């Protein structure tokens, strides 16, 4: 079932969350441990991130180093199949530009079509760790809008290098939105124009980057509506749980903490104190978003569900 259908058919705000594949060599049990406690809140869909390759230098027998490509978190397609089978929910895989040619993207989409996956979140993806900026893969898509164009072509039965149309896919396409703008955008208005291009290309829903100031989200929705973006806009939430988050999240996700929140966080000396403040703040955010009729509350769990369960127990 499509995300937009879940939203249209629901009279209340929907609960959903995102997981990351476990490190290579780990089993499905490693992620189910974090998922099981969250299933009490009846999420109709679960997002599964995709992680591109990384380059490492391995020692050779002659003492030299060899640069090799490794994928530390493979398995997105397989995890989607496992989640759909085990929990009877819809899985939403992330499909990214980086690390894929268009042919490899098409093959992944065909596999997902065979599995009965109905929804895709189309993203450009982050630069590799050793890259100062995103560098597209040769023969791949450069921007998320290019990826959306390819998925839309498949939905119309047009596959790569095929002169005639074939069996169409029926993916509901999602895109990312940034209430505080994408860090590479010149300003928020230019970022909004890029988002409009993704919607015009075929994106049917938007999932936002995490934020801690609801006003940023409400202003973002208002700006979207003003420029003709009328698809559902799903707010993304991430509870703070460790001292490391206090510097990592602003730096990595390019978001700001409201002064009221930062004042409380400055008093924290332990991870437990941070989690208490973080959970309380997310509960406050969630209640206001529900009151304002946000279509979905989407939680970034980072593979751990304890804090999200505490929040969901208070608001759903």
Q: What is the pLDDT of residues 137-194, one digit of tens each?
A: 999 999 999 999 999 999 999 999 998 888 999 999 999 999 999 999 999 999 999 9
pLDDT at 44: 98
- Answer yes or no: is pLDDT of 70 > 70: no
> Structure tokens of 249?
């999240």
In the chain, the N- to C-terminal Cα span, in Å, equals 22
DSSP E strands, 132-197:
172-177
pLDDT of residue 175: 98
Question: Is the pLDDT confidence value at 68 over 70?
Answer: no
Asked whether residue 65 carries a pLDDT value surpassing 90, the answer given is no
**Domains of the chain with CATH codes:** 3-73+124-136+177-315 (3.20.20.220)
Percent of the chain scoring above 90 in pLDDT:
80
243 has a pLDDT exceeding 80: yes
- What is the residue whose two structure tokens read 């809140």? 41
The Cα 152–Cα 269 span in angstroms is 50
What is the overall mean pLDDT for the chain? 93
Higher per-residue pLDDT: 127 or 102: 102
The residue that leads in pLDDT, 302 or 144, is 144
pLDDT at 61: 67
Is residue 118 very low, low, confident or very high in pLDDT (cuts 50, 70, 90)?
Answer: very high
Check pLDDT > 80 for residue 67. no
User: Tell me, what's the pLDDT at 259?
Assistant: 97
Q: Give the mean pLDDT of 32-36.
A: 91
Of the two residues 29 and 122, the one the predictor is more confident about is 122
Mean pLDDT calculated for residue range 14-31: 88
How do residues 193-238 score in pLDDT, each as one tens digit? 999 999 999 999 999 999 999 999 999 999 999 999 999 999 999 9
Q: For the chain, what percentages of helix, strand and coil (3-state, to nearest 5) are there?
A: 40, 20, 40
pTM of the model: 0.93
168 CB burial (10 A radius; 0-12, 13-18, 19+):
middle
Q: Looking up tokens 């189309």, which residue turns up?
A: 122
CA distances from 104 to 111, 161, 238, 308, 316 (A): 11, 13, 31, 34, 40
pLDDT of 163 reads: 87
pLDDT value at 63 more than 70: no
The DSSP element (H or E) to which 114 belongs, if any, is: helix 102-115
Predicted confidence at residue 29, as pLDDT, reads: 85
- Give the pLDDT mean for 279-302: 97
Which tokens is 243 given?
A: 């001292």
In the structure, what pLDDT confidence band is assigned to residue 56 with cuts at 50, 70 and 90? low
Q: Which two structure tokens, joined as six digits, stand for 301?
A: 């769990």
Q: Where are the beta strands (DSSP E) in the chain?
A: 14-19, 45-48, 54-59, 65-70, 90-96, 119-123, 172-177, 205-210, 233-237, 296-300
């Amino acid at each position: 079932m499509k995300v937009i259908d879940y939203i249209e058919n629901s009279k209340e705000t929907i609960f959903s969350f995102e997981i990351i594949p476990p490190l290579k060599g780990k089993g499905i049990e490693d992620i189910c441990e974090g998922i099981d406690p969250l299933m009490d809140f009846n999420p109709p869909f679960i997002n599964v991130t995709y992680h591109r390759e990384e380059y490492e230098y391995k020692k050779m027998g002659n003492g030299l180093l060899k640069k090799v490509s490794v994928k530390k978190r493979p398995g997105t397609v397989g995890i989607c199949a496992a989640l759909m089978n085990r929990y009877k929910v819809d899985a939403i895989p992330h499909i990214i530009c980086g690390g894929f040619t268009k042919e490899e993207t098409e093959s992944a989409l065909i596999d997902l079509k065979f599995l009965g996956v109905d929804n895709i979140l189309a993203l450009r993806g982050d630069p590799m760790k050793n890259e100062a900026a995103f560098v597209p893969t040769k023969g791949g898509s450069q921007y998320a809008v290019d990826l959306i164009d390819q998925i839309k072509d498949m939905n119309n039965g047009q596959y790569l290098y095929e002169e005639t149309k074939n069996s169409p896919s029926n993916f509901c396409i999602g895109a990312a939105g940034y209430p505080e703008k994408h860090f590479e955008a010149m300003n928020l208005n230019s970022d909004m124009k890029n988002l409009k291009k993704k919607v015009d290309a075929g994106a049917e829903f938007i999932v936002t980057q995490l934020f801690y100031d609801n006003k940023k989200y409400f202003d973002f929705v208002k700006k979207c509506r003003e420029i003709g973006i009328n698809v559902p806009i799903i707010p993304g939430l991430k509870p703070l749980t460790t001292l490391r988050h206090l510097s990592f999240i602003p730096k990595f996700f390019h978001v700001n903490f409201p002064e009221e929140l930062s004042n409380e966080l400055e008093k924290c000396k332990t991870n437990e104190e941070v989690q208490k403040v973080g959970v309380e703040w997310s509960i406050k955010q969630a209640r206001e978003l529900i009151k304002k009729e946000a279509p979905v509350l989407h939680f970034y769990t980072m593979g751990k569900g304890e804090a999200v369960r505490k929040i969901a127990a208070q608001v759903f």
